[in-house]
Amino acid sequence: MHIFGPKNAGHLRRLSSHLGADLRYYYAIFDGVKWIVNQMAFAGTSIYTNPNFYTEPDYSGLAAIVGHSPDTVYISTNSNPETGLPLVSSGDGKRHFEIFKGRTTDMGKTWKWTAITENSKFDNIRPIIPISSDSKTVVLWMQGSYTTYCDYNTKIVGIID
C-alpha cells in the first residue's frame, strides 16, 4: 500500500497513469443545503508536456465563470467538450486548444457548448473574465504557443460577448 501525502506528493506526478491525457472540468454549486457537483466538460490534455522540463500533467487550459451569470462559463480545451474527441484544426491539421462558452439551466447537470474560437493555428488558453460595471461579458485569453510557464510566445486577445 502506498500513501501519498504532502511529504511525498511529488511521486504522484511520476505515476504512468497520470500523464495529463484526459483532464476534466467540474462544476459545483451550493443549492442552500448541499453542494451539487457535476462533470462539466472534457478539458483535453495538459497544456504542455516537455521532457526537458519539469512537466505539469495537471495544467489544463483553464475555465472561468461569469461573475454576474454563474450559469455561464468559458473554457479552454483541445477536446470536444461533450465527447472528449481531439480537436484537430482544419487551419493547420494540428490539435489546438480552443475557447468554448458553456451554459447550464439545471445547476450544471447538462451543458450547451458554443465554440468561440475554432480551427485555430495557435492555442487559445487561460480565459479570464474581468469584472464589468454593466451586464456585458468581456472574455480575455492567451493565444499563441505555451511550452512552459517560463517559455511562451502569446498575446492577449478577447471578445465582448
- 3 belongs to a structural domain: no
Q: Are strands 23-30 and 151-160 parallel, antiparallel or unpaired?
A: unpaired
- 6 belongs to a structural domain: no
Helix (H) or strand (E) holding 160: strand 151-160
Q: What is the pLDDT of residue 106?
A: 96
The three cell numbers of residue 79 are 477536446
Neighbours of 152 (CB within 10 A): 15
Contacts of 12 (CB under 8 A, 6+ apart): 4, 18
Among candidate residues 4, 84, 18, the one with its CA nearest the CA of residue 46: 18
- 55 belongs to a structural domain: yes
Q: What is the pLDDT of residue 16?
A: 46
Q: What is the pLDDT of residue 54?
A: 58
Q: What is the pLDDT of residue 151?
A: 85
Q: What is the pLDDT of residue 134?
A: 79
- 81 belongs to a structural domain: yes
- 123 belongs to a structural domain: yes
3-state secondary structure of 101: strand
- 56 belongs to a structural domain: yes
Q: What is the pLDDT of residue 5?
A: 36
Domain boundaries, position 115: 18-160
- 128 belongs to a structural domain: yes
Q: What is the pLDDT of residue 150?
A: 83
Are 145 and 117 spatial neighbours (Cβ–Cβ below 8 Å)? no
Q: What is the pLDDT of residue 149?
A: 81
Residue with cell 511529504: 7
- Tens digit of pLDDT at every position of the chain (161 positions): 333 334 444 444 444 455 677 899 999 999 999 999 999 999 999 888 666 555 677 789 999 999 989 999 999 999 999 999 999 999 999 999 999 999 999 999 999 999 999 999 999 999 999 987 778 899 999 999 988 888 889 999 999 98
Q: What is the pLDDT of residue 53?
A: 57
Q: Give tens-digit pLDDT for 4-38.
A: 334 444 444 444 455 677 899 999 999 999 999 99
3-state helix, strand, coil in the chain (%, to 5): 5, 40, 55
Report the length, in residues, of the chain.
161
Q: Burial letters for 85-112: b for 16+ Cβ neighbours within 10 Å, e otherwise?
A: eebebeeeeeebbbbbbbebeeebeebe
The three cell numbers of residue 105 are 439551466
Number of domains composing the chain: 1
Phi and psi angles of residue 68, each rounded to the nearest 5 degrees, phi first: -85, 0
- 115 belongs to a structural domain: yes
